[in-house]
A and B are shown apart, each in its own frame.
Chain A
Amino acid sequence: MTTKAFEAATVHGEMFDTNELVINMGPQHPSTHGVLRVVLRLDGEKVVDAEVVIGYLHRGIEKLSENRNWTQIILLTDRMDYVAAATSNVGYCETVEKLMAIEVPRRAKYIRTILMELQRIASHCLWVGTHAMDIGAMTVFLYAFRERELILDLFEEFCGARLTYNSMRIGGLPLDIPPGWDKKVLAFCDIMDGKVDEYETLLTHNRIWLERTKGVGVISGPEATALGLCGPALRGSGVARDVRKDEPYSAYDEMDFDIPVGVQGDTYDRYLVRMEEFRQSLRIIRQATQGIPEGPIVGKVPRLIKPAAGETYHAIESPKGELGYFIVSDGKSTNPYRFRVRPPSFCNLQALPRLVRGHLVADVVALIGSIDIVLGEVDR
């Protein structure tokens, strides 16, 4: 015979489930890299399930863009991935150029490539610093920010801003590079070469680092592809997918570089992939800086930007992964009819519950760092 109370207790099973605990991580948590909330279901210290709650930084950039003219939108794209703003600028401008069939001069393409690769290094510097600090290695943070500062100085000299650059225009660039800037870029490459090795001496063979990252958040290549992971997170699982190689844009078809891929698909491999990307980016910057062609920096752009009616999708490789723009023009008004961003961080963050299942709470921090998200881009 079962009593009523017993029935109630078995129906609502949690009365007997004393060892499962639901806790909130964030939205105000230093290692969630912004306003990200993760609801964790814990069994002791093991994560049974996780739910990601986003939207705290939603500013409606897509809706806003549909009510601004084509040039004003460049400024809004800065505010998505704010640690690699120039990359978002280029992605948007190239989509509009594709829509209007504007030929961009080679000089502008080369300078864009240099800027984008500098951004990749700056973004990876921020990533390696914060990721290592989340796991407990404080020193790397200070070292990485020292070099990021040099890149921000280069950007300041190029366009006057240090974070949100607004440094592109549809059809080319607003300004040519200042005299002597290319020499400074090359000098930076020489400094950076040694510094990447320095980060690696601190981490790659560090026993604590290996313990904390090896075998954490393993995901196979086919599963990562199906989950829509992109960028270093996908390449860490052994899928050689890079928009720069597969669908070249800007001057990447003229550059010689390799795509590093991982084997295990764990946090350590994703770390190694990004460390190698530092070196490949430096290789691209050297080639591009030494080969900047002479010529104009803006193509033939009509005074009033008003693409013909039609739609297109164009993707570029941002430091976080595939950054795509889907833009529909109605051909009548001076603003896009539909403006859609495919944010790489959003698609990567989707895999977090899958990655953290079965790991410890401390590994959640490592995994958030490992997929490298920027909440400005996740929430838009």
Chain B
Amino acid sequence: MADAPEHAPKAAVPTGPVEPPPPADAAVPGYITSLQNGVPGSVTQLSLYLGDWTVIVPASHLLQAGRYLRDNAACAFDYLSDLTATDWPPRTTEGRFDVVYMLYSTKHRHRVRLKVKLGEDQPLASVTGLWPAANWLEREVFDMFGVNFTGHPDRRRILMPEDWQGHPQRKDYPLEGPGELLMENPLDWLKLRQAREEADIE
């Protein structure tokens, strides 16, 4: 929308997160090496930042990798503590979304972060079958970002009304609606709305 960027941050739009590779002397935890051997091709990149390990997994291997991490005795990631996404609209080669899974093991008390890079309409397998906790979290990501989860038992909006247009957490979604303009000068607002509708039709 033409008049939205007023509220947007002034700095240049970043094209992706910083994922520093682990230093050469860092010991890769056993659960990651185990995953690399157990599910070949499931780790495209490794990252260590502030003590958190991040494993970047291709969307096609997500379910396999997740199942391995949950069921393998050395990994035992039985607790999905969080599932969320990040939007990087300028990133075209790898797709705009990062879907992030925060996994925790109640047995070994270790954490790992899985990350899947995903295009706007690219489907992503739902992990509700592995961790039922993902049900609402995936609904929220669908609601807020429009990530296309497949195989989800109940894929609906969760926080926004069911007839809502757009996905509010995307970076190109405006922060404010008509607001004061509607209250102060309804005629201007009407013109603006008409102009927008016409632009949409064309």
Contacts and interface: CB of A to CB of B under 8 A. Distances in A.
Interface of B: 7-12, 14, 17-18, 20, 49-50, 52, 78-82, 84, 86-87, 100, 102, 106, 109, 111, 113, 131-137, 144, 157-161, 168-169, 173, 175
Interface string A295-323: 00000000000000111110100000010
A47 interface: no
A67 interface: yes
A328 B17 contact: yes
Contacts of B175: 63-64, 67
Interface of A: 54-55, 58, 60, 62-64, 67, 98-99, 101, 222, 225-228, 230, 239, 241, 246-247, 309-313, 315, 322, 324, 326, 328, 330-333, 335, 337-338, 340, 342, 346-347, 350, 379-380
Contact of B11 (A332, A342, A350): A332
A347 B102 contact: no
Q: Summarize B's interface: helix, strand, loop or mixed.
A: loop
A339 to B, nearest CB: 10
A313 B102 contact: yes
B49 to A, nearest CB: 5
B14 A226 contact: no
A196 B79 CA distance: 32
Choose among B9, B10, B137, B161 the residue with the greatest number of A CB atoms under 10 Å from its CB.
Answer: B9
B168 A313 contact: no
Contact of A333 (B11, B78, B134, B169): B11
A326 B133 contact: no
Contact of A310 (B50, B81, B157, B168): B50
A138 to B, nearest CB: 34
B166 to A, nearest CB: 12
Most B-side CB within 10 Å, residue of A58, A330, A333 = A330
A310 B49 contact: yes
Contacts of B144: 62
A311 B49 contact: yes
B17 A313 contact: no
Contacts of A330: 11, 14
A77 B137 CA distance: 20
Contacts of A228: 79-81, 131-134, 137
A41 B106 CA distance: 35
Nearest to B15: A330
A246 B17 contact: no
A55 B139 CA distance: 12
Contact of A332 (B7, B14, B20, B81): B14
A310 B132 contact: no
A62 B173 CA distance: 13
B78 A222 contact: yes
Contacts of A247: 109, 111
A149 to B, nearest CB: 33
Given A322-B81, A338-B86, 15 more contacts: A54-B158, A67-B7, A225-B106, A226-B79, A228-B131, A228-B133, A228-B134, A241-B79, A309-B18, A326-B102, A330-B14, A332-B11, A335-B9, A340-B82, A350-B136
Contacts of A309: 14, 17-18
Nearest to A101: B50
Contacts of A310: 17-18, 20, 49-50
A267 B78 CA distance: 23
B160 A347 contact: no
A312 B133 contact: no
A98 B17 contact: no
Contacts of A99: 50
B127 to A, nearest CB: 11
A379 B78 contact: no
Contacts of B10: 333
B190 to A, nearest CB: 25
A17 to B, nearest CB: 22
B9 A246 contact: no
Q: Which of A98, A225, A246, A312 has the most CB of B within 10 A?
A: A225
A300 B202 CA distance: 55
24 contacts: A54-B158, A55-B160, A62-B169, A63-B175, A67-B8, A67-B175, A226-B132, A228-B133, A247-B111, A310-B18, A311-B18, A315-B81, A322-B81, A324-B82, A324-B102, A331-B18, A332-B12, A333-B9, A333-B10, A335-B9, A337-B14, A342-B82, A347-B133, A379-B159
